Structure 1
Amino acid sequence: HDIFTIVLKGDSSNTVAYNIIWKIRLPRIILGALLGGALSLSGFLIQTFFRNPIAGPFVLGISSGAKLFLAVTTIVMTGFFNKMPVSVTVAASFVGSLLSLLLVLLFTGKVRSMSILLVIGIMISYICSAITDLLINFANDSDIVNLTHWSKGSFSAATWQDVCISAYIVLPALLIIFLASKPMGAYLMGEGYAKSLGVNIKAFRVLLVLMTGILSSCVAAFAGPISFVGIAVPHISRLLLKTSKPILMIPASFLCGASFCVLCDLAARTLFAPTELSISTVTSAIGAPIVIWLLISRRKRNEV
């Protein structure tokens, strides 16, 4: 009752409860929903792009690029700040993600084979990870702690400013993707069929990678890399809807991802309270068995 009074009526008579709900809990829940939806949707897009059911949004090297740029920024900025400001961490992660995305987009226009592009994305990820590991050898203990904390993924530092910036990025991207649902449906039927309907395949591929990259970059910047949401949740959406039509899958993936991340964040916060688990620990524990089960059931269907 107190929670509803504070949320719906803005009752600030209980200052402590008001601050906890309005300044900590609500931003965290809304950011979790926005980024969870973004991650699930980017997973659906990349699975559509590669026509591969176990491709994830971070297969393009986006999270590795974010971590590399964050490592460089952290080491360079050590002399300027005693404690790295959150805004600098977010900005560094976002720039690193976008640089990786630009590199992938460069190859997207030149490489025709989807499998080669997938391998290129994985190689970019390995190169970024190798350079990051090299840099960590020269970093201070506090820098390593900062990088490790980011790598685990968390919504704990969420603010209303983060929510607003994320909403300005995620919601327009969601609208653009929804408007592209018709050519996406044609693309899923095969490139020849899509071309016969007037779809520019090269431009469409670039759009898919660009939207995936923007959504994934936003998640990496504000929450760090979150495992398995982008792989598992689109499959959950397909199972619930019993269809792969993009016009239905796009909103369903977003809503399922939002719900999944909010519930996983709640579990991460409460299961071993006052100790808080990283969000990736919970999403991996739930997401990995789902992916294994999907692979096994898919193989059985193919055998039948």
Structure 2
Amino acid sequence: MRTGGKRTASVFLLLTVLLLLLFYCNLALGTRFFSPAKLFSLLSQGRGNDPAVSILFKIRLPRALMALFLGGALAVSGFLLQTYFANPIAGPFVLGVSSGARLAVALCMMLFMAQNRALSSFALVFAAFLGSLVSLGILLAVSQRVRQMAGLLVAGIMIGYICSAATDFLLSFAADSEIVSLHSWSQGSFSGMSLAQVRTAAVLIGISAFALLFLAKPLAAVQLGESYAESLGVNVRRMRSALIILASLLAATVTAFAGPVSFVGVASPFLIQSLLKSNKPLLVLPASFLGGAVFCLASDLIARTAFQPTELALSTVTSFFGAPIVLWLLVKRRGK
């Protein structure tokens, strides 16, 4: 018991140190370097005519905060879907949830751009939420006929391909001015964020996190079997509905602001559970949030600085590191 407690404390300490280090690197590194003293001075100053203030508060700080919040949200969404489907390979990107959200957001953005109207952050999230729910609804309908998890995962991948094809079809008819903004978003990116958007994302993710506080213990009971959970008074049907809604809301928030970000929702929860040697929601949920934030902060830093001034698409980096983890997971499961 003592050994398990030390392991848990060590994992949380490691994740926290990595998070702080990467957050500093995301603020300090770039075409213009900020030393710790300079960064502290700028953060204390807040306003001024110094161009460094604009670089920090209008570009780097919102971007780093979004990578932190959205990366954590994506990992938590992945863990919820993995628990729902009882499969560690399930995730928003793999099951087509992110692609459905992407299609809905792209459609709304094109409609509003055609009318020269702006689309609010909450409207974008709502559209993404509906798109993700529709994708999951189709997948759940398929699951009534396809009982094998391998077939269900293939169905999720096919739904993702269909939604991606439909999105690309819509983009081919977009005006040139629309394509520029939609293309970078559709590849996944934390660039172009504002502090107002950060606040909106933080509110939505905070609401989801608050709801998960009340679901952690019932979720642990469901992991031990539906019959066992029902014997403890857990309403399993309501519980599973809550999992789908929260997983969709978190994935939709990520997609609405940053576009589809691949493999974070699968790789992060798997690595966290491997490090913790536990799948208890009270431990895995906060650790997954930290792990997803670390993953996305590191990926965004690489995408932004590795080949500067050229910037890589975020999903290119997350796929490069996340796909081998998923392959390893598949081989591991096949071995068992």
User: Which interval holds the TM-score relative to the shorter structure?
Assistant: 0.7 to 0.9
For the 8 Å contact 1:66–1:92, the answer to whether it is kept is no
2:125 corresponds to: 94
Q: Does 1:172 align with 2:207?
A: yes
1:35 Cα offset (Å): 0.3
2:39 corresponds to: 3
2:313 corresponds to: 278
CA distance in 2 between counterparts of 1:178 and 1:110 reads 31
Q: Which moved more, 1:37-46 or 1:237-246?
A: 237-246
Could you list the per-position Cα deviations for residues 153-196 of structure 1 after superposition, in whole angstroms to 9, with x for gaps in the alignment? 11111110011001100012112113211111111111111111
Q: Does 1:184 align with 2:189?
A: no
2:331 to 293, 296, 302: 296
For the 8 Å contact 2:104–2:131, the answer to whether it is kept is no
Amino acid at match of 1:5: S
Amino acid at match of 2:271: I
Q: Does 1:163 align with 2:198?
A: yes
CA distance in 1 between counterparts of 2:198 and 2:109 reads 24
2:175 to 119, 131, 140: 140
CA distance in 2 between counterparts of 1:139 and 1:5 reads 44
CA distance in 2 between counterparts of 1:210 and 1:96 reads 14
1:256 corresponds to: 291
1:241 Cα offset (Å): 1.1
For the 8 Å contact 2:92–2:98, the answer to whether it is kept is no
CA distance in 2 between counterparts of 1:104 and 1:75 reads 20
Q: TM-score, normalised by structure 2?
A: 0.79
For the 8 Å contact 2:84–2:240, the answer to whether it is kept is yes
> Does the C-alpha gap of structure 1 residues 294 and 109 become closer, same or farther in structure 2, counting only changes over 3 Å?
closer
Amino acid at match of 1:296: V
2:134 to 85, 103, 106: 103
Q: TM-score, normalised by structure 1?
A: 0.86
For the 8 Å contact 2:76–2:289, the answer to whether it is kept is yes
> Does the C-alpha gap of structure 1 residues 20 and 75 become closer, same or farther in structure 2, counting only changes over 3 Å?
closer
CA distance in 1 between counterparts of 2:212 and 2:90 reads 18
Q: Which moved more, 1:125-134 or 1:14-23?
A: 125-134
SS in 1 for 2:93: helix
1:48 Cα offset (Å): 0.5
> Does the C-alpha gap of structure 1 residues 12 and 68 become closer, same or farther in structure 2, counting only changes over 3 Å?
closer
For the 8 Å contact 2:101–2:132, the answer to whether it is kept is no
For the 8 Å contact 2:74–2:251, the answer to whether it is kept is yes
CA distance in 1 between counterparts of 2:69 and 2:59 reads 16
Gaps of 5+ in 2: 1-36
SS in 2 for 1:180: helix
Once the two structures are aligned, what percentage of the paired residues are identical?
47
2:75 corresponds to: 40
Aligned residues: 296
> Does the C-alpha gap of structure 1 residues 191 and 131 become closer, same or farther in structure 2, counting only changes over 3 Å?
same
1:150 corresponds to: 185
SS in 2 for 1:138: coil
1:109 Cα offset (Å): 9.5
1:215 corresponds to: 250
CA distance in 2 between counterparts of 1:70 and 1:104 reads 13
1:63 Cα offset (Å): 2.6
CA distance in 1 between counterparts of 2:106 and 2:309 reads 29
For the 8 Å contact 1:47–1:55, the answer to whether it is kept is yes
Could you list the per-position Cα deviations for residues 124-178 of structure 1 after superposition, in whole angstroms to 9, with x for gaps in the alignment? 5444334334434433344344332111111111110011001100012112113
Amino acid at match of 1:95: F
For the 8 Å contact 2:75–2:269, the answer to whether it is kept is yes
For the 8 Å contact 1:150–1:224, the answer to whether it is kept is yes
Which structure 2 residues correspond to residues 3-82 of structure 1 after superposition, within 5 A?
3-7=39-43, 9-10=44-45, 12=47, 15-81=50-116
